[in-house]
Chain A
Amino acid sequence: MDGEQEPKAKVEEAKKLEGRSPGQLMWIRFKRDRTGVISAYVVIFFFLIGLLAPLISMLYGKDPYTVFADERPELFDSAGVPVQPNGGISGEFWFGLEPGNGYDVFTKLLYGIRNSLMISLAVTVATVLTGIILGVAAGYLGGRTDYWVSRVIDFLLAFPSQLFFIASMPVVVSLFVSPKDETPVYVRVVALIAVQWFLGWMSLARILRGTTLALREREFIEAAKVSGAPPGRIIRKEILPNVVTPLLVQSTYMLPNFVTAEAGLSFLGVGIVEPTPDWGQMFSKASTELVMQNDITYMFFPGISMIIFIVAFNLLGDSVRDAFDPKTAR
């Protein structure tokens, strides 16, 4: 608490009549945290890369779909391994060429990041919305609603999630696709989002339910009730602004989890498939004999970039949490 002296404080008050909201305070605290700020820049960098991928590859002059193994056969052996050392890194192909069909790794990584982040972001948004709606409803309404939402959460948490993912992906995809056309990429994307969302919202909902339950006991909610506030208003004006903190903290932890989970699915071959570039699909390529036996350079591009991204995001998450809640030890 910043203690405050009434008589003296008046002079200063004239200068800063606007109070600083908790959000602003958090922002000030966050800005002081160097690790957090650097991590934030790294994370923003990745999102920028994703956003600007088409532009960058245009400037760079290649796209991630050109089969260089057929365009430039002299660069490859007959099994599709780049002949030059270090995965064929050269002034022309900055990150080398992908063993197999010989895609350009640089543009593929750009687009891979773009697609992965897009999907994960969408899952996060869907999850957050569901989490808010169900979590807050269960916490605030209590009783039957709470009971059933909690049971559903328990039930879904008992799901072997990965197993469910791989089992349901083909089903979900088949719901959308006409047998004539190629499975459009967006269908896979939607299916990925849907499947991850389906088993992804529970922990957030649970946390928000807890937060709401705790908030419901807070006296300012009672104060609103005593004034005759309808439930809608209480949720909107009193509860929602207060779940923003856990929401933000949780989302910063959730998003990298979704990124890795999405990559895991593509790695298993049930997510995004060739030739659509995707982080996870690159891992799946990286784990082929071709790469592991011949030249492991390729492996490092998706690997290192993902580690940097996840570490930065996790550090950012820690900083956000610290900024909101300076008590917790780090």
Chain B
Amino acid sequence: SEGGSKEGGNKEDKENAERQQSSIAFGDAKASTGPAAEVSGAKPGGTVTVLQRDSFAHLDPGQIYVSDEMSLSQLIHRGLTGYKATSDDGKKHEVVGDLATDSGTTTDGGKTWKYTLKDGIKWADGSPITSADVRHTFERTFAPFVANGPTYIQQWLADKPGTEYRNLLKDGPYKGKSLPDSILETPDDKTIVFHFKKPKPDLPYALAMAGYSMVSKKKDTKEKYDKAPMTAGPYKIQEFKSGKSMVLVKNTNWDAKTDPIRHQYIDQFNFQFNKQFEDSTKAILDDSGANATAVSFSNEVDAGNLSKILSDSAMKSRTISGYQPYVGQMNINLSQPEMQDKTVREAIAYALPITPFVRASGGTQAREVAGGLISPTVSGYNPEFDPFGKKKKPAGDPAKGKELLEKAGKVGLKLTFGYINTPEGQQYSTAMAAGLEKAGFDVQRQEIPAETYYDQVSKVKNNFDIFHTAWGADWPSASTVIPPLYDGRQIADGASNYSHINDQKVNADIDAASEITDPAKAAEAWNKINEYIVKDVVSNIPTAYYKQTQIAGSKIGGLVYDDVIGGVDPRRLFVK
């Protein structure tokens, strides 16, 4: 097949594109007042079984940055802000105040942000949540052991890129030091003020990340918090057996009136881990007993069952699908001397076959050949953009590649290709290598252990000429895509500018776009940068947009694919 987007359909593309035109609004105090609007047909009670492949490695909000933990976090943790669904299909959202009374107020174009805590908000043990907890939450993100969570706000507060922010508060709040009022101000029990050096119009988005949910100051047990955190959401952890199971029960100290975004219909969530995609699919299809109320937050339908389910009309109401925020891309390491020749990069771009990646990931239902670096879930997505004709020739254009390589006089160029050592990685990297070799490259595949893959490719001094990564927006704005990945001033060990692109124009445009407060205009600016990078710099070759299809038991109600979460929205579920 052409591997491309035949079934994906242009209709859907357009729909997405349209949807992204209207970006997410920041809600006011009214929008931030609980309780959340009832889900139609919902009734309380019942137990839901959640089948998950991976056990939760982190429960400490400060360490949460992966999607399945973020889904869980929706149920147990609360932050200053959160996404409120404004439609019943999971496609429209608004950022509102969660623990805070609104999504935040700024008076100076985003440099100073003020938040006020609601009344009656409590931890699961009944103690009130105060501004001291909020301060503690942010201060501890500087502690060395908090290594896995997001870093936006820390960097903004410290006004430092990469990991240098840690110097602002080396040991976190644990050795008696704290952030000065000039940076983080908590004048009373209810008020929190952030002071940034530069405008940060995206703060309400950032605060909605699971990684910035609140941590109890009193109950903070540092490393151990990761296994038994204090919670504030509608559910609390009754039991957690790592690698096996978890039980969530209702948190009686959670007050619906304080929460505009969550519901508490279900009595109990029973998580089971180690359920491979095939297992969970099979169990849910089985639909008897506990399986009728089974769902998975992150497991997709496995590749083998996918087409069967998609073509089964009876399954339609139980099936949800949509894009994930990830975009796959082949990074060309611009630090490598041979890669500094743009013609060579173009040769790679033309020759690189995308089909192997699509194939290895399960076909066109799981991956869609990408034109640009901005996902369809993010504001500013442009479905028409496809400078190397990948959508038409997903298997690559070796002839064109060869022509360019010859033009550059580099036929037989040694190309070190670092690939992730998983069965999929092996599969697509060999086929990609075969495609590139047809264009005249001498591809040296280098395996990289899967567990340390990103650590290795994010070293500035790595030896790879090309390697594949995927990046998902942390919130539906390209501001969480373009700057971390393509800002030339962000090149550092562990940072995400994998291709080491350091283009003056890109840098300048990023600065400019960052300060645009109108979301729609910002989106357009970001897209421009995206197109410039792909077409003119040729440092990153987009490969595919990630798609995902999930199913649930027939007794599950309120099943919605939430674009922001990139999967089932667990907050709205109920048992029919």
Task: Using CB atoms, name the residue of chain B closest to A276.
Answer: B430
Is there an interface contact between B435 and A78, defined as CB atoms closer than 8 Å?
A: no
Interface: A288 (CB within 8 A): yes
Shortest Cβ distance from residue B294 to the other chain A in the assembled complex, whole angstroms: 20
Q: A70-B435, A73-B395, A79-B303 are in contact. Are A274 and B363 (CB under 8 A)?
A: no
Q: How far is the CA of A80 from the CA of B449 in the complex (A)?
A: 25
Question: Could you say which of A73, A77, A101, A293 contacts B430, with CB atoms under 8 Å apart?
Answer: A101
State how many residues of chain B have any CB contact under 8 Å with chain A.
35
Is there an interface contact between B447 and A65, defined as CB atoms closer than 8 Å?
A: no
Task: Using CB atoms, name the residue of chain B closest to A65.
Answer: B434
Is there an interface contact between A70 and B2, defined as CB atoms closer than 8 Å?
A: no
A78 to chain B: which residues have CB within 8 Å? 1, 3, 355, 358-359, 363-365
Q: How far is the CA of A149 from the CA of B380 in the complex (A)?
A: 71
Interface: B446 (CB within 8 A): yes
Report B298-317 CB contacts with A as 1/0, cut-off 8 Å: 00001111000000000000
A181 to chain B: which residues have CB within 8 Å? 416, 444, 446
Shortest Cβ distance from residue B5 to the other chain A in the assembled complex, whole angstroms: 10
Shortest Cβ distance from residue B393 to the other chain A in the assembled complex, whole angstroms: 11
Which residues of B335-353 have CB atoms within 8 Å of chain A's CB atoms?
353
Interface: B440 (CB within 8 A): no
State how many residues of chain A have any CB contact under 8 Å with chain B.
31
Q: A69-B359, A79-B359 are in contact. Are A274 and B427 (CB under 8 A)?
A: yes
Interface: B445 (CB within 8 A): yes
B431 to chain A: which residues have CB within 8 Å? 67, 69-70, 101
Q: How far is the CA of A288 from the CA of B449 in the complex (A)?
A: 20
Which residues of B399-428 have CB atoms within 8 Å of chain A's CB atoms?
416, 421, 423, 426-427
Is there an interface contact between A274 and B362, defined as CB atoms closer than 8 Å?
A: no
Shortest Cβ distance from residue B394 to the other chain A in the assembled complex, whole angstroms: 9
Q: A67-B431, A69-B356, A289-B304 are in contact. Are A77 and B447 (CB under 8 A)?
A: no
Q: How far is the CA of A275 from the CA of B443 in the complex (A)?
A: 13
B444 to chain A: which residues have CB within 8 Å? 180-182
Is there an interface contact between A274 and B430, defined as CB atoms closer than 8 Å?
A: yes
Is there an interface contact between B1 and A77, defined as CB atoms closer than 8 Å?
A: yes
Is there an interface contact between A183 and B447, defined as CB atoms closer than 8 Å?
A: yes
Interface: B278 (CB within 8 A): yes
Is there an interface contact between B362 and A79, defined as CB atoms closer than 8 Å?
A: yes
B353 to chain A: which residues have CB within 8 Å? 70
Q: How far is the CA of A297 from the CA of B358 in the complex (A)?
A: 23
Interface: B537 (CB within 8 A): no
Shortest Cβ distance from residue A56 to the other chain B in the assembled complex, whole angstroms: 22
Task: Using CB atoms, name the residue of chain B closest to A274.
Answer: B426
Q: How far is the CA of A183 from the CA of B419 in the complex (A)?
A: 12
Interface: B247 (CB within 8 A): no
Shortest Cβ distance from residue B170 to the other chain A in the assembled complex, whole angstroms: 33
Question: Could you say which of A100, A274, A275 contacts B359, with CB atoms under 8 Å apart?
Answer: A100
A-B contacts, 18 listed (Cβ < 8 Å) = A67-B431, A67-B434, A70-B435, A78-B355, A78-B358, A78-B359, A78-B363, A79-B359, A80-B360, A80-B363, A182-B446, A269-B421, A269-B423, A274-B426, A274-B430, A275-B434, A289-B303, A293-B302
Which residues does B use to contact A, with CB under 8 Å?
1-3, 278, 302-305, 353, 355-356, 358-360, 362-365, 395-396, 416, 421, 423, 426-427, 430-431, 434-435, 444-447, 449, 463
Which 3 residue pairs of A and B lie closest in terms of their CB atoms, listed nearest first? A293-B304, A79-B363, A78-B363
